[in-house]
Homo-oligomer: A and B are copies of this chain.
Amino acid sequence: MVLNYLIRLFMFQTLITIKDVYQQAEKLSKSEKLIKVGGWVKSSRESKEKKFIILNDGSTMNALQIIISRKNFLQLGLLEKINFGSGLLVSGRLVLTPGRQQSCELEVEKIELVNSTDNNYPLQKKNIPLGIVRNFPHLRAKTNYFLAVFRLRHSISKAIHEFFHQEGFYYAPTPIITSGDAEGAGETFTIHAKKEDFFNKEAKLTVSGQLQAESLAQGLGKVYTFAPCFRAEQSNTTRHLAEFWMVEPEMAFADLDVITNLAEKMVKWVVNFVLTNNYPELEHLEKHTQKELINRLRRLTKESWEKVDYSKCIEILIKNKENFILRDIKWGIDLQSEHEKYLCQYFNNKPIFIINYPQELKAFYMKNNPDGRTAACFDLIFPQVGELIGGSVREDNYQTLIGKTQRKKLNLENLSWYLNLRKYGYVPTAGFGLGLERLIMYISGAENIRDTISFPRYFKHSDF
């Protein structure tokens, strides 16, 4: 046991990631010392003289080929124990292989089998259908598909933080637990502690951090949240989660034009970041799931997106109503996803901002337009995933806001702190909410939103 411990100490000191192996291949191939990598067996094949193992450690999409020459390999019986999914530590010499698919490979001197997989391992084979892998959220990171999607998620998150930082926004936490009113955004989860009145009032899981973010923008000027939100909706679709992450910027002295421009700039920034930093992941996804993924993303960053009035959209839909299942189209209806899809196609299959929806369709806090019937708001609709972002200017007139609050039958007392902001040096703000997983769906080409988050929560699913 002590020996084992000493071996480990030695081992940790010299480990190098496969990403670093590829980046420093030239130098490492000339090294006198053995190089050591650790990872999991992704596949293997045999010839008379040699065994080839593809090893990945999660640091990069590119796995490393390990070559064992049977003649020189002294660890008798070990190779037979190494199976698909085994965790290995491997020491050897790096050999450059210019012209081949991978630019280098490792000729093995010593292997430590850290742990093999037992007979009950559910992901024994390569290329197991997604539908089966989905049953094992705690093992999904062992498959190449999810390694690609989760690495994209990392980059998308990082790009969002960087974007807002360079735009002068402050990252601010808004509360997850709240006794505030749900502003009609959907069903909520309530929270209980053993001590019954842990909180004075009924406490719920937040559906949006926007109202709180607005109050922070009244001092910090520009803020954004990046936090989980919750909806207790039973919808069992490929586009909804009970627990998802929202990004909600809020900006003082902004109007609809400023905030829609910000949304467009943000999405393009994120897509550019991913195109620059995650080409291997995108290539993998394009090859295995969605054709033309990379070209679609490239095109997106170059187009400029239309801003179309809701009223104009209704005109277009009425003129083309034979295309729809729901044909009773008139000013005031909520657009269905078939309508949104059609509108994207109508405008050259690009994302569109639909702006100035009827007040009655939208939340109480959205600013009334001077026309008396629309609100200064927008939805950003993407051809593939539907609504990606929704936002608005916020109603700054105290009396108007009170009226809107009452018309929606919301609890004035619970909202009084929010309403009163209008009396304390209030300046107009605008903001939006981005559903992070929707954006990941769009960028990764994932067909099911449950594949974009490591432990998806939805109706009947809270395990692990």
Contact = CB atoms under 8 A, between A and B. Distances in A.
Interface of A: 1-2, 5, 8-9, 11-12, 15, 17, 19, 38-41, 57-59, 85-87, 89, 114-118, 120-121, 138-143, 146-147, 150-151, 153-154, 157-158, 161, 165, 168, 170-180, 187, 189-195, 197-201, 203, 205, 212, 215-222, 227-228, 230, 232, 234, 242-243, 245, 252-255, 257-258, 370, 396, 417-418, 420-428, 453-455, 457, 459-464
Contact of A252 (B58, B170, B220, B424): B58
Contact of A219 (B141, B175, B176, B461): B141
Most buried by B among A146, A190, A215, A422: A215
A216 B423 contact: no
A211 to B, nearest CB: 8
B177 A230 contact: yes
Number of copies: 2
A230 B252 CA distance: 31
Interface of chain A: mostly helix, strand, loop or mixed: mixed
Contacts of A118: 423-424
Given A174-B454, A189-B191, A192-B192, 15 more contacts: A8-B428, A17-B168, A57-B221, A58-B220, A58-B252, A115-B423, A138-B421, A146-B219, A153-B172, A161-B161, A173-B453, A179-B462, A189-B193, A194-B232, A201-B463
Contacts of A117: 423-425
Nearest to A175: B455
Given A118-B424, A176-B176, A138 B418 contact: yes
Nearest to A253: B38
Contacts of A11: 253
Contact of A460 (B2, B87, B174, B200): B200
A148 B306 CA distance: 39
A12 B255 contact: yes
Contacts of A191: 189-192, 205
Given A11-B253, A142-B219, A189-B192, A158 B147 contact: no
A135 to B, nearest CB: 11
Most buried by B among A192, A201, A252: A252
Most buried by B among A58, A219, A258: A219
A170 B190 contact: no
A325 to B, nearest CB: 28
Contacts of A172: 150, 153-154, 454
